[in-house]
Amino acid sequence: MTFPPTPHHIWPSRWFDRAACASQPRDLFFPQSRTHERRSTPVALDVCGQCPVRDACLSHALATPERFGIWGGTTAAQRGWDKYGRPQRNPYGRIP
Ligand code: SF4
């Protein structure tokens, strides 16, 4: 199955030119079901772990803010968003 490119792929950004996820499928970083999310999240985080622009990506995700998907080696929950893209009431585990 082929997915359209992620916003990661089409945004004009110098840092994203070196992103480790540039050749990865979109649904790896934006899973469409909870079942898929459980399988894909560890794989996506492994890709982020090898990414040379991880810090820039995380800074972007926090500043924008990006409410969904994997960015900068973090899940949306770790960035403080619930599954609907709302702020978490209990941000336990949230990154500072
Ligand atoms: S940190 Fe992860 S989501 Fe961000 S550009 Fe790198 S591989 Fe992609």
Going by alpha carbons, the residue nearest to atom 8 of ligand 1 is: 21
- Helices of type H across the chain: 7-10, 26-29, 34-49, 54-63
User: Which ligand 1 atom is nearest residue 72's CA?
Assistant: 1
Q: Is the pLDDT of residue 62 over 80?
A: yes
Question: Would you say the pTM of this structure is higher than 0.85?
Answer: no
User: Which ligand 1 atom is nearest residue 54's CA?
Assistant: 1
Going by alpha carbons, the residue nearest to atom 5 of ligand 1 is: 19
**What 3-state DSSP class applies to 37?**
helix
End-to-end CA distance of the chain: 37
> Tell me: the pLDDT tens digits for 25-41?
999 999 999 999 999 99
Q: Is the pLDDT of residue 16 over 50?
A: yes
- Ligand 1 centroid, distance to 2 Cα (angstroms): 20
Confidence tier at 1 by pLDDT (50, 70, 90): very low
Q: What percent of the chain has pLDDT over 70?
A: 79
Residue 89 has a CB neighbour count (10 Å cut-off) of 6
